[in-house]
Amino acid sequence: MKEVRKIGSRKRIALVAHDNKKKDLIEWAEHNKVVLARHELIATGTTGKLLEEKLDRPVQRVLSGPLGGDQQIGAMIAEGKIDVLIFFWDPMESQPHDSDVKALLRLGVAWNILLACDRATADFILTSPLMHQDYETQLPDYSGYLKRKVAK
């Protein structure tokens, strides 16, 4: 039997953006202010401060991405404390913390959370009827990977 994780109707949404995408994320969040007000928001450093100002509501802030914030969000995903990751990343510019970015995206997929890297996907997630009700997500079974590593 597959393991499931229950996600409540009030989602825990992590909002992250690279410098060149912060304006886009803030505009998207402001456009979706009413829907986002129903959920708990978590964000990295500067993005969190900008969101608090624009949305006029508290946002749980972690460190700036390059200073460990991406890793903090990743840890929260692994602990089941994040339900949705909206990460407007810049595909055109290399980041000094690219390895952290890759790890964060990998954790989002590994733990089967909702993950949007652009506005269109974020819009589809936020407007889904499932966004406003309880939901059970199946957790992947990685025990086969662990057994292979131990056997080597």
What is the CA 15 to chain-centroid distance, rounded?
6
Q: Which of 24, 70, 100, 123 is catalytic?
A: 70
Q: Is residue 123 helix, strand or coil?
A: helix
Q: Is 19 annotated as catalytic?
A: no
- Paired tokens of 101: 């970015």
Max intra-chain CA distance, the chain? 54
Measured between alpha carbons, how far is 92 from 64 in angstroms, rounded to an integer?
A: 20
Q: Are 20 and 93 in contact (CB under 8 A)?
A: yes
Measured between alpha carbons, how far is 1 from 140 in angstroms, rounded to an integer?
A: 11
Q: Are 11 and 83 in contact (CB under 8 A)?
A: yes
Positions marked active-site: 70
